[in-house]
Amino acid sequence: MLKISNLHKSYPIGDSSLHVLKGIDFEVNNGEMVAIMGSSGSGKSTLLNIIGILDEYDSGEYTLDGVAIKDLSEKKAAVYRNKFLGFIFQSFNLINYKNALENVALPLYYQGLKRKDRQEKAKFHLEKVGLLDWAHHLPSELSGGQKQRVAIARALAANPKLLMADEPTGALDTTTSYEIMEFLQQLNDEGKTILIVTHEEDIAAMCKRVIRLRDGVIMEDKIVEQVRAATAHV
Ligand code: ADP
Ligand code: MG
């Protein structure tokens, strides 16, 4: 699915620079559910943004589904993002003035689907996250957990090969967090490859593999016995 070798990334800071990723190596295979852990500032989001083709890296190699991801034009990057990747964020990133259905339908617009097909597909995915009855509600009328479900439906609408989540439960209470994790586990059971950035141990334990970052290097990368969210104690 994806392979990263000796990846480096620095941010320019005035005349000097901040070396954030210092030689990252790992592979993710189809069907994995991987947590990327590390304290704040360890480079988790930087790494996820590079994997998500939202940011560039300085040196090393990154291939996604056999495609070398380096120095892509903005247009090509957008094509690959749309084709391969779905994103979920801590703050949901829904469009406030669009209702749940319209939010889910949006990525389908960029795939060139006709309006009717977009609506139908969006409905299908909203139903999957249990929110069909909320289709015509604005994000401001939804709870945090519901907003994140809409965001998941939106991320899934274009049928990405890889679902990426940056602190998806960071803004949610524990009960709601576990409901979201239960849903992500079900998706992974169905075969979806999932990458989750988190700094919460209980969330990481609900994945099947945990990669720990510290100061821009991988400290540990191991397979774990997955805790099922449905049976986890809040
Ligand atoms: P994490 O997600 O693990 O908290 P980040 O990847 O967001 O870490 O940040 C890693 C380091 O890079 C931090 O020190 C942060 O301040 C810095 N950083 C992140 N983004 C930028 C940027 N766009 N410009 C400069 N420094 C940045
Ligand atoms: Mg972060």
Q: Name the CATH code of domain 30-56+74-231 (choices 3.10.20.30, 3.40.50.970, 3.40.50.620, 3.40.50.300).
A: 3.40.50.300
Would you call 232 exposed, middle or buried from its count of C-beta atoms within 10 A (0-12, 13-18, 19+)?
middle
Amino acid 158: pLDDT: 86
Q: How far is the CA of 41 from the centre of ligand 1 (A)?
A: 6
pLDDT (tens, 9 = 90+) of the chain, 234 residues, equals 999 999 999 999 999 999 999 999 999 999 999 999 999 999 999 999 999 999 999 999 999 999 999 989 999 999 899 889 999 999 999 999 999 999 999 989 888 889 999 999 999 999 999 999 999 999 999 999 999 999 999 999 989 999 999 999 999 999 999 999 999 999 999 999 999 999 999 999 999 999 999 999 999 999 999 999 999 987
> Ligand 1, from 46, 164, 196, 200: best to mutate by most atoms within 8 Å of Cβ?
46
Provide the residue type at 40 as one letter.
S
Distance CA 3, CA 95 (A): 32
Q: How far is the CA of 201 from the centre of ligand 1 (A)?
A: 21
Strand 2-13 and strand 16-28: pairing? antiparallel
Amino acid 233: pLDDT: 81
Amino acid 127: pLDDT: 96
Nearest protein CA to atom 18 of ligand 1, as residue = 11
The residues, ordered by sequence, that sit 6+ positions from 116 with a Cβ below 8 Å of its Cβ are: none
Nearest protein CA to atom 22 of ligand 1, as residue = 11
The residues, ordered by sequence, that sit 6+ positions from 54 with a Cβ below 8 Å of its Cβ are: 81
Amino acid 143: pLDDT: 96
In Å, how far are 71, 150, 211 from 219, measured between CA atoms?
28, 34, 8
Distance CA 188, CA 51 (A): 19
Amino acid 112: pLDDT: 84
Amino acid 101: pLDDT: 97
Distance CA 224, CA 209 (A): 5
Amino acid 82: pLDDT: 87
Amino acid 57: pLDDT: 97
Amino acid 185: pLDDT: 97
Give the number of the atom of ligand 1 that is nearest the alpha carbon of residue 12: 25
In Å, how far are 52, 94, 135 from 98, measured between CA atoms?
24, 8, 10
Give the number of the atom of ligand 1 that is nearest the alpha carbon of residue 43: 6
Distance CA 198, CA 165 (A): 9
Domain ranges, ordered by start, for the chain: 30-56+74-231
Residue (of 50, 48, 149) closest to 94 by Cα position:
149
Which helix (H) or strand (E) segment is 217 a member of? strand 217-223
Please state the pTM of the whole predicted model: 0.94
Q: How far is the CA of 55 from the centre of ligand 2 (A)?
A: 14
